Amino acid sequence: MKLLNNLSSLILEAANLDVVQDSIRNKKVITINYDGREYGRGFREIEPVCVGYSKKGELVLRAWERQGASHSKVTRDNPIPGWRFFKLVKILTYQPQGDNFYEMRPDYNPDGDKLMSSVILNANFDNTENLA
């Protein structure tokens, strides 16, 4: 039984829309493994706050990156911790950490994300029902 519990803790979820929406609604801290060739491949600890469609029609996630593998010339102008934009198809694993976040980060936009053509869900920090 102990082996089964250990194995189940190694199974990582994929980033599908339902899982992402749940983490936004419940303000769950997530660890992702991201295939960001141009901005660094690897693990990141994030606070997901907005999911929607990019102007190219791709399913995307806006999140506050607490720490992780983001590296490139971009991080010099946008250091970690900071806001990041992730394509869901490039998120290889999506694992809740058991922690929650409740703090609205600097420059958070409660109306959505200007890089998205449409917002599916945006986090709500005013203790009322989440926006859909």
Question: What are phi and psi for residue 128, nearest 5 degrees?
Answer: -110, 180
Q: Is residue 38 part of a domain?
A: yes
User: Cα–Cα distance between 34 and 51 in angstroms, integer?
Assistant: 16
* 11-15, 35-39, 75-79: which is most confident: 35-39
> What is residue 112's predicted lDDT score, i.e. its pLDDT?
83
Q: Is 28's pLDDT higher than 60?
A: yes
Question: What separation in angstroms does the CA of 76 have from each of 34, 102, 115?
Answer: 19, 27, 21
What the block records as the tokens of 88 is 């869901």
Q: Is residue 24 part of a domain?
A: yes
Q: Is residue 16 part of a domain?
A: yes
Say if residue 94 is exposed, middle or buried (CB neighbours under 10 Å; 0-12, 13-18, 19+): buried
H or E segment and range at residue 44: strand 40-54
Q: Is 72's pLDDT higher than 90?
A: no
State the average pLDDT over residues 29-36. 92
Q: Is 54's pLDDT higher than 60?
A: yes
Q: Is residue 36 part of a domain?
A: yes
Q: Is 116's pLDDT higher than 90?
A: yes
Q: Is residue 31 part of a domain?
A: yes
User: Cα–Cα distance between 8 and 28 in angstroms, integer?
Assistant: 19
Pick left, alpha or beta for residue 5 (phi over 0 → left; psi -120 to 50 → alpha; otherwise beta): alpha
Q: Is residue 84 part of a domain?
A: yes
Q: Is residue 93 part of a domain?
A: yes
Per-residue confidence at 77, pLDDT binned at 50, 70, 90?
Answer: low
Per-residue confidence at 128, pLDDT binned at 50, 70, 90?
Answer: very low
Q: Is residue 61 part of a domain?
A: yes
Assess contact for 71 and 36: CB atoms under 8 A: no
Number of separate domains in the chain: 1
Domain containing 56: what range?
12-122
State the average pLDDT over residues 54-58. 95
